[in-house]
Amino acid sequence: MRQPAPDVNDPRIQLLDSITEITPEDRGRVIVAASHAGVSAVRYAFNDQPLACFFNDAGVGKDAAGISGLAPLADHGIIAATYRHDSARIGDALDGWQHGILSHVNARAAARGLKPGMSVQEAAQLLLPR
């Protein structure tokens, strides 16, 4: 499912239950995806160039597979972070938006002040000041 973030009324924030739902109209937006941040998933964002993407860390996994796409996203100019798998359900972007707590950030995210422990909403608001 694809939907705007509730209670924010800001078209620059888009919730995607799967990163495969990203489209060219998402260029410059903040995307909260409920997918893992493995390389196989994050590559969907490379061409559409969102400002930032938030993903579920999927428990990080073997060889850090659940977060392995954070550095490649930075290489493509995209701010990215994961939120803890125990803070929001995988596959439910609304839950990620409402309850997600950051666990890992890429270099571009860190440069913009994002850090583990922040809520997804706090991080998004830091990137998109009112």
Nearest to 22 by CA among 46, 52, 45, 51: 45
- The span from the CA of 10 to the CA of 13, in Å, is 6
pLDDT at 71: 98
Task: Provide block-wise average pLDDT over 10 residues at a time, the chain (130 residues).
Answer: 89 97 97 98 97 98 97 98 98 98 98 98 90
